[in-house]
Amino acid sequence: MHDATLRSDLRAVSGHLSSLAADLLVLPTWDGDDLADIPELDVATAGALADARARSEWRGKAFATCLVAVADASWPARRVLLIGTGSAPESTAQIRRVAAAAMLEATSRRVASVAFCLREVNQTVEAAQAAAEGLTLGEFDGGSYKSDAEPHTVGNVLVARAGAASDSEQGAALEQAVARGRLLGACSNAAREMANEPGNTLTPTVFADRARQLAEGTTLTVDVLEQPQMEELGLGLLLGVARGSAEPPRLIVLKHEPDGAADAPVLGLVGKGITFDSGGISLKPPDSMELMKDDMAGGAAVMAAMRAISLLGVPIRVIGVVPATENLPGGRAIKPGDILRSADGQTVEVINTDAEGRLVLGDALWYAKRCGATHLVDVATLTGGCVVALGKITSGLFGAPNGWVEAVQRAAGIAGDRVWPLPVFEEYADQIRSDIADLKNTGGRAASPITAAMFLKAFVGETPWAHLDVAGTAWSEEARPDQPKGPSGVAVRTLVELACAHVRWAGIGA
């Protein structure tokens, strides 16, 4: 696959600051930091750093920056950028974020090459991986359709163990960590690229083509089910949502089946793939409806994660399922009050056609189980109620049993995706009981993210299952130091980390 999201050459090195071949040196700094581990830096800047500190220009506050010139002509670098991590210099998550912010800063300053320097306290393989992820995330450019764009590329990027002499064993571990971080960052950017596409260019058919492209160079197999196959399987919920659109639906299935993998566990990843959501007959308000092009962000996360899982050689079977369709108010569109029959035989009364994501996911979860999944995770921009509950910072996490939910939460924490568990007590299911069918597709405004999760729970049975509601986190409507406006790529790294951590959860639900 040609990866347009990789715009630079990124590699790992070790060495003193005076030897790093980069125009800009970036150093994380923190509250109370005195740069005692790199005393040569103040000398090389002819005391400019000390002056900046005396004037309070250099502080360790999170994302605060201080740029000074290097006066020593023997140094390849001409400038040094200090960037604050706050009060936690050893935080891997914060290293990822400041690395992304540093790349955005370097790009805006049109720097030719950058060295992100890991200080003594940060010189771990985890920090090196996080730095590579952040630097790669910082390369993403959302303005792909601007006719007058002049994007700048930072050509050479280094992740450096600052002040460390070259050591072959440590150097190999650093290189491996940086390569892994580069892959995860690139796959996150691939998901962002898809979520950024407008609905007229990323139709369900094109979305399926993107899955095939993501599989290039991997061992993944891709199977795309078209409407006749879905009708034969009885995927009535997915087909019902698709009825209002002239674009045909697709069920995209990616499989990672390494040689010698055991029959279990089999991780099933399911991602909502609504390529544009108008709300259907229950039409959304016009304000910000254009952002509904990202309603397939969960599906993009699953597809991009599957690429990384294959390239990392994760030794378990993993299945990715993405139900892809538009939700439009055409003449054949489903109406409030209609009854749909799911692939597993349950009947659903449609109360609100804008609650379509849970419909397509219900059939997709059934299909993932049919393919052999023993553990399930679904990712979806599902409910506005989750945004009300958790805002734009944290994704909602639901599921059962508790051990499986905790495994997903642990993976998200390592990956740098913030999640927070919400309850799925059985009493909530009362809100989605229909008078004339088995279920209704919405339980009203009260506890709406939870009742949406309860709807999905009805299709998983006793299979360990977790649901990530990323409605608030898939798209950033305001720029932050480490995240420009636009798609975030949320959940890609979480899904990969979960697959890699299979030894911790393989026995859950067995």
DSSP string, 355-371: --HHHHHHHHHHHHHHT
CA dihedral 454, 458, 462, 466 (to 10 degrees): -40
CATH number at residue 479: 3.40.630.10
CATH number at residue 16: 3.40.220.10
Whether 454 and 366 have beta carbons less than 8 Å apart is answered as: no
For 17, which DSSP code?
G
Rounded-to-integer distance, Cα 316 and Cα 324, Å:
26
Q: What is the CA radius of gyration of the chain?
A: 24
pTM of the model: 0.97
Q: Which domain holds residue 35?
A: 9-145+154-163
**pLDDT, the chain, mean:** 95
Look at residue 172 and tell me if it is in a domain: no
Q: What is the H or E stretch that residue 53 is in?
A: helix 48-54
Rounded-to-integer distance, Cα 23 and Cα 4, Å:
24
Whether 373 and 268 have beta carbons less than 8 Å apart is answered as: yes
> Same domain for 74 and 140?
yes
> Same domain for 13 and 99?
yes
The one catalytic residue among 358, 369, 440, 457: 358
Query: What pLDDT does 7 receive?
Result: 63
Rounded-to-integer distance, Cα 357 and Cα 294, Å:
12
Query: What pLDDT does 148 receive?
Result: 78
Question: How many residues comprise the chain?
Answer: 510
Query: What pLDDT does 4 receive?
Result: 43
Rounded-to-integer distance, Cα 156 and Cα 334, Å:
53
Query: What pLDDT does 2 receive?
Result: 40
Rounded-to-integer distance, Cα 211 and Cα 216, Å:
9
Last-in-domain residue among 163, 189, 217: 163
Q: Which residue reads 């092009």 in tokens?
A: 293
Return the ∠ at Cα 497 (arms to 491 and 501), rounded to 5°.
145
Exposed, middle or buried by CB within 10 Å (0-12, 13-18, 19+), for 344? middle
> Same domain for 210 and 84?
no
Look at residue 179 and tell me if it is in a domain: no
- Count of structural domains, the chain: 2
Last-in-domain residue among 118, 137, 163: 163
> Same domain for 39 and 119?
yes
> Same domain for 241 and 159?
no
> Same domain for 344 and 299?
yes
Query: What pLDDT does 67 receive?
Result: 95
What would the two tokens of residue 495 be?
């899904």
> Same domain for 281 and 414?
yes
CA distances from residue 458 to 337, 344, 347, 510 in whole angstroms, order as listed: 20, 10, 11, 20
Query: What pLDDT does 164 receive?
Result: 63
For residue 358, indicate whether it is catalytic: yes
Return the ∠ at Cα 314 (arms to 397 and 417), rounded to 5°.
30
The one catalytic residue among 109, 284, 410, 504: 284
Dihedral sign from CA coordinates of 479, 480, 482, 483: negative
> Same domain for 95 and 237?
no
Look at residue 185 and tell me if it is in a domain: no
Q: What b/e readout covers 157-168, taking b as 16+ CB neighbours within 10 angstroms? A: bbbbbbbbeeee
Give every residue of the chain whose pLDDT is below 70, as ranges: 1-7, 149, 164-167
> Same domain for 295 and 350?
yes
Task: Collapse the DSSP code of 261 into the 3-class scheme (helix H, G, I; strand E, B; otherwise coil) and give the result.
Answer: coil
Look at residue 344 and tell me if it is in a domain: yes
Nearest to 241 by CA among 324, 334, 322: 334
Look at residue 181 and tell me if it is in a domain: no
Rounded-to-integer distance, Cα 19 and Cα 164, Å:
11
Name residue 420's beta-bridge partners.
396
What would the two tokens of residue 364 be?
């997709």
**How many other CB atoms sit within 10 Å of the CB of residue 132?**
29
For residue 480, indicate whether it is catalytic: no
Name residue 396's beta-bridge partners.
420, 469
> Same domain for 354 and 209?
yes
Query: What pLDDT does 1 receive?
Result: 39
> Same domain for 418 and 364?
yes
> Same domain for 159 and 222?
no
3-state secondary structure 117-129: EECHHHCCHHHHH
Look at residue 4 and tell me if it is in a domain: no
Task: Collapse the DSSP code of 331 into the 3-class scheme (helix H, G, I; strand E, B; otherwise coil) and give the result.
Answer: coil
Look at residue 184 and tell me if it is in a domain: no
Our separate counts of H helices and E strands in the chain read 15, 20
Look at residue 32 and tell me if it is in a domain: yes
